Structure 1
């Protein structure tokens, strides 16, 4: 599996989630991030776009 592809996929997914829910369902977004972190991903740069990188 390509780590780069995974990062791009989760990054796009995150941007879609933020654009749709950031003002209406922030708690749900936070829960999604907790899910990412539980899977070993770390969220970064939340102010502009969301980048998720796999922790070593």
Structure 2
């Protein structure tokens, strides 16, 4: 099995800021994961943990 480059590593402050920014811009979880070397599931969990929010008019 191939894992993303940051699999199992701690999230840096900068990565958390980036998740919050990208999430608010409506970038897909899959794309954020690819950008940060994380799985979509880990991005979704981190976004929830840090209270990242989608734009009001965001449609899944």
TM-score (norm 1): 0.36
Higher strand share: 1
Instruction: Kindly indicate which of the two structures has a greater share of residues assigned to helix.
Output: 1
